[in-house]
Structure 1
Amino acid sequence: MRIVLFCHSLQSCWNHGNAHFLRGIARELLARGHDVRVHEPVDGWSRLNLVRDHGEEALLGWRRAYPELSSESYAGLPDLDAALDGADLVLVHEWNPPELVAAIGQKRLAGGRFVLLFHDTHHRTVSDPEAIRRFVLDGYDGVLAFGACLAERYRAAGWAKQVRVWHEAADTRLFRPLPGVEKTGDLVWIGNWGDDERSEELEAFLTEPVRALGLAATVYGVRYPETALDALEEAGIAYRGWLPNHEAPLAFARHRVTVHVPRRPYVEALPGIPTIRVFEALACGIPLVSAPWRDTEGLFPEGSFLLARDGAEMARHLRAILHDADLRAGLIATGLAAIRERHSCAHRVDELLAIHAGIAGIEKEPGLELRPCA
């Protein structure tokens, strides 16, 4: 089957977590013998910022880490007749310009013999609904939303004919335990600043607990303002800047614990949607402590990670993990089992192929019912 993907970038993960999942999905499809074609703009902001900060050589890393993947860059709009030729399934990620989204929909309406799906992995439906309204989804067979609450937003607004829940997941070919790596630090956090969407939470659940416990901690990420960098330095946290995603498993392996600090829009308006780093960290077998979020869809069994209601509880959990070998072992085992049984890119490809088969075979049947938000 030929699968065509239009995304913001496969080449760059600079402040672009969507690349993590899409790379994993693409390589899983290729491993199963499918023909995967990826198209991205040559001037996407993620790629431009990566090259600005680290030079063209920064793009070599992902090519070495994913030798089977390739991506065709285009300027302006791609040649859609050529790009869609022979396609069976087309995925259009929501970090594409509205004119491209609409143009692909028109190709489907004009007789395109492919299943066309819009893929949303962001909170703009609640934080910037006007941006979503600019997308014309005429011709699209459905929407893939990375959480039930996001899917309900699409359905309630009448933005799509069918909406399916398609969570992100870990690329377990890359994200796996590395037991032979020496531990050189206590805590690692891999995450970008996030435009003040979690600045208070990072202070309460990261810098203050690290300071209070005197931990050897490292932070990776981009777009940190000077005030944030000063706060990290004052807490004794080493800031290492951008980390290529394919190097994250080694960073996890070198530390004893990590934390999850979700962005405020997800906690308040789109519960049940964790960052992809939760899946990736658990897949690497590192104990995790999370700031508050509601697992409304029951993605993770109890004991996959610890939940801290405030900064003081975060500090208590971190201290316990660092000093209790049995607690660490239990968290690692439960978290790994959750990923291996339910949340790998292989699981998501199974779901994607089933969705494609259902739409291609029985297009006139109604969409799947969504589970309600709790």
Structure 2
Amino acid sequence: MKIAFYGSSLLSSYWNGAATYYRGIIRALAARGYRVTFYEPDVWDRQKNRDIDPPDWCEVVVYEGTLEALRRATDRAHDADIVVKTSGVGFEDDALLGAALGAARPGALKVFWDVDAPATLAEVRAGPDHPLRFALEEIHVVLTYGGGPPVVEGYRKLGARECIPIYNALDPQTHHPVPPEPRFAADLTFLGNRLPDREARVEQFFLDPAARLPGQKFLLGGSGWGDRPLPPNVGYIGHVPTRDHNALNVSAKAVLNINRESMAEIGFSPPTRVFEAAGAGACLITDAWPGLGLFLDPGEEVIPVRDGQDLAELLPGLTPERAREIGRKALHRVLAEHTYDRRAEEVDRIFRRLIDTRAAEVAA
């Protein structure tokens, strides 16, 4: 089956936290026989900051950031059995949604894949005329990469026929244990771009504890933090390409995950960083959120903290031996239960069920 997949970027993780998710899902779907073409706009300097070359498991079409180029790209949706429009593409998202759905042939499966469902739902609820409200009438299924029951219920109230979470996971070919590198050595590392609904939480969970623990070494990676005043024991290393994530994760005593505010509030939203860290065998500390236990066992495979004070009290007493044990258990858990192969198996079942239903509707 052919999929036309319209997303932010498969080739670049620059200002694009969903890249790892897209790569893992699409590679695993390709292994199941799907032929995927990924369409991404040339915006936000992503093409200047590619992490990977075009892969052999997916055709990638990069189009200019113009409405004319967008329309040419969406015209090709007519050739696909499944048309996927994701959230947060970053260029004319509303126009892209309408054009991609409009170009789909009769009988094709139309999918909206939301990679930031809490934020999307808040935006749609605030806009009675939001285009997604009306598009849900023709979208056959909404897939999300997190959110659990609260997001499913939210989409159902907006009129979605179905909403099914397809959670982030691990691609063992990409994220796995490697030898540590001295340039990434730290007591605690955090990797995340500077975003409006994350900055206050980074202050609370990372920068405040750093200020309280001058004898501990902290490392901050991600785009946008260059002009932010930092405590003297926090090293800033800027954007970290995907190829360095494994070394970054294994070189610190522990790595920190901080969910964006909307995702932390709703819960059931493990970001890609959780599985990247666990896949490398790192000791993961995370802000506590509902549903964490569905993915990793708190206290055994991951350490949840309620706030910066929790973290400041925890970190000095975390021995390297305990950190390694937590990382070992996390790696075992994600390899057993949370790989993209397992997620793709679920997506395949969903797609085949809905395509059979569509075929019966068209025949009738």
Q: TM-score, normalised by structure 1?
A: 0.83
CA contact (8 A) 2:267 2:289 kept: yes
Q: What's the secondary structure of 1:340's corresponding residue? A: helix
Distance in 1 (alpha carbons) for counterparts of 2:211 and 2:172: 33
1:291 counterpart residue number? 287
The AA in structure 1 aligned to 2:76 is A
What's the CA shift for 1:334? 2.4
CA distance in 2, matches of 1:30, 1:37: 10
- Deviation of 1:185 (Å): 2.7
Determine the structure 2 residue equivalent to 1:39: 39
2:261 to 258, 264, 270: 264
1:297/1:102 CA distance change after superposition, 3 Å: farther
Residue 109 of structure 2: aligned partner: 115
Alignment match, 1:301: 297
Residue 333 of structure 1 and its aligned partner are, at CA, apart by: 2.5
Q: CA deviation at 1:71?
A: 1.6
Contact persistence 1:106–1:138 (CA under 8 A): no
Amino acid in the other structure paired with 1:93:
T
After superposition, the Cα gap between the structure-2 partners of 1:67 and 1:180, relative to the gap in structure 1 and judged at 3 Å, is farther
Deviation string, structure 1 residues 84-128 (Cα, Å, up to 9, x no partner) = 3542322210224212212222334xx433222110011323442
Whole-angstrom distance in 2 between the partners of 1:201 and 1:250: 25
Seen in structure 2, the aligned counterparts of structure 1 residues 125 and 103 have a Cα distance that, compared at 3 Å, is same
Check if 1:343 corresponds to 2:343: no
Structure-2 change in CA distance of 1:210 and 1:296 (3 Å): closer
- State the one-letter code of the partner of 2:26: A
The 5 Å alignment of 1:1-374 reads 1-42=1-42, 44-45=43-44, 48=45, 50=46, 56=48, 58-59=49-50, 61-63=51-53, 66=55, 68-75=57-64, 76=67, 77-79=70-72, 83-96=76-89, 97-108=93-104, 111-122=105-116, 123-129=118-124, 130=126, 133-135=130-132, 136-146=135-145, 147-148=147-148, 149-158=150-159, 160-179=160-179, 184-195=185-196, 197-213=197-213, 214-224=215-225, 226=227, 229-230=228-229, 232=230, 234-268=231-265, 270-295=266-291, 298-302=294-298, 303-321=300-318, 323-325=319-321, 327-363=322-358
Q: Deviations over 1:269-306 (max 9, x none)?
A: x2221222112111111101112322267232332211
- Taking the aligned partners of 1:353 and 1:126, their CA distance within structure 2 comes to 25
Q: How far apart are the structure 2 equivalents of 1:116 and 1:256? A: 45
Task: Evaluate the alpha carbon distance shift between residue 188 and residue 70 of structure 1 in structure 2; reply closer, same or farther with a 3 A threshold.
Answer: farther
* SS class of match (1:173): coil
CA shift in 2, pair 1:254/1:68, >3 Å: farther
The amino acid of 2:194's aligned partner reads W
* Residues 213-222 or 182-191, more deviating: 182-191
* Per-residue deviation, 1:68: 4.9
1:168 deviates by 1.8
Q: 1:95 to 1:295 in 2, by over 3 A?
A: same
**Contact 1:221–1:241 (Cα < 8 Å) also in 2:** yes
- Aligned amino acid, residue 88 of structure 2: W
Q: 1:125/1:188 Cα in 2 relative to 1: closer, same or farther (>3 Å)?
A: same
* Secondary structure in structure 2 of the residue aligned to 1:36: strand
How far the C-alpha of 1:189 sits from its partner, in A, is: 0.9
Residue 161 of structure 2 aligns with an amino acid whose one-letter code is K
Whole-angstrom distance in 2 between the partners of 1:363 and 1:266? 33
Unmatched segments (≥5 aa) in structure 1: 366-374
Structure 1 CA distance for aligned equivalents of residues 281 and 340 of structure 2: 17
CA contact (8 A) 1:291 1:314 kept: no
Checking the alignment, whether the CA contact within 8 Å between 2:253 and 2:320 is kept in structure 1 is: no
Shift of 1:257: 0.8
Question: Cα deviations across residues 340-362 of structure 1 (Å, max 9, x unaligned)?
Answer: 12222111111110101111123
Judge which range, 248-257 or 129-138, deviates more: 129-138
Determine the C-alpha separation between the residues in 1 that align with 2:30 and 2:249: 27
Provide the C-alpha distance between the structure 1 equivalents of 2:355 and 2:59, rounded to a whole number of angstroms: 27
Aligned length: 343
Provide the identity percentage: 23
SS in 1 for 2:294: coil
CA positional deviation for 1:33: 4.0
Instruction: Output the aligned Cα RMSD.
Output: 2.6
Give the match's secondary structure for 2:11. Answer: coil
* C-alpha distance in structure 2 between counterparts of 1:221 and 1:353, whole Å: 33
Q: Distance in 1 between matches of 2:304 and 2:292?
A: 14
